[in-house]
Homo-oligomer: A and B are copies of this chain.
Amino acid sequence: MTGLTRRQKKLLDFISAHQERTGMVPTLREIAAYFGFKSKTGAVNHVKLLRQKGVLESQPRRARSLRVVSPLERFRKRTVDIPLLGSIPAGFGEDRVQEARGCVTIDVQSLGIKPSPVAFALEVKGDSMIGKHIAPGDLVVIEPRAEPKTGDVVAALIDGDSTLKTYMTRNGKPYLKAENPCYPDLIPARELVIQGVMVALIRKR
């Protein structure tokens, strides 16, 4: 990986950056133009070398077929975009994406599951789930299309607000409970709307 000259590294960086920015890999001419080459062949030679060194791949005679090969390549999984919602309105429309406040992009491997298109993320407020080590400020990913099982953490609509609770059954009846001794109440689950099951959590810092 360190067998690259400075120039070659610049080229690789440009290709990556261009892909991030525009969603497509640059053509040889675009590369040449960026570096001020008066001839395309400069770029061609660089790409040839980078391909020999194994950090680039391409398919012959196909437009924009370059691919940056990273050592992590073989581990990479599909990524998904999950809307980060500020709050969940009572209505259960499909199109809550409109009200997104942000977007969480993560690979399905780290997420643990492939979420359905209606999955969403929430920021945790309050410490009612601290007993399950879910802290204020954490992002939780909620999957509505999952049947809650005993012990699962679920998001429920309580007093018009989304709240996290643990799902459990007692005497065959479902209840929700907070994971904090300060809130010992058990809430009968059928009195409210369960919005989904927590499938993952992301905490920064």
Question: Which A residues have a C-beta under 8 Å from some C-beta of B?
Answer: 1-2, 20, 22-25, 27, 63-65, 67, 70-72, 75-79, 81, 83-84, 94-95, 97-98, 100-107, 109-113, 130, 133-135, 139, 198-205
Contact = CB atoms under 8 A, between A and B. Distances in A.
Contact of A63 (B1, B63, B67, B130): B63
B95 A72 contact: no
A138 to B, nearest CB: 8
B83 A100 contact: no
Number of copies: 2
A70 B65 contact: no
Contacts of A67: 22-24
Given A97-B72, A100-B71, A130-B133, A201 B200 contact: no
A201 B203 contact: yes
Given A200-B205, A202-B201, A205-B200, A103 B81 contact: no
Contacts of A22: 67
A112 B24 contact: no
A25 B203 CA distance: 33
B81 A72 contact: yes
A41 B102 CA distance: 37
Contacts of A75: 83-84, 100-103
Contacts of A20: 78
Given A25-B24, A130-B133, A110 B202 contact: yes
Nearest to A108: B105
Given A133-B133, A202-B202, A105 B98 contact: no
27 contacts: A1-B97, A2-B94, A2-B95, A23-B25, A27-B63, A70-B81, A71-B98, A72-B103, A75-B103, A77-B103, A77-B105, A79-B105, A102-B109, A103-B109, A104-B106, A104-B107, A104-B109, A105-B105, A105-B110, A106-B106, A106-B110, A133-B135, A198-B205, A200-B203, A201-B201, A201-B202, A202-B203
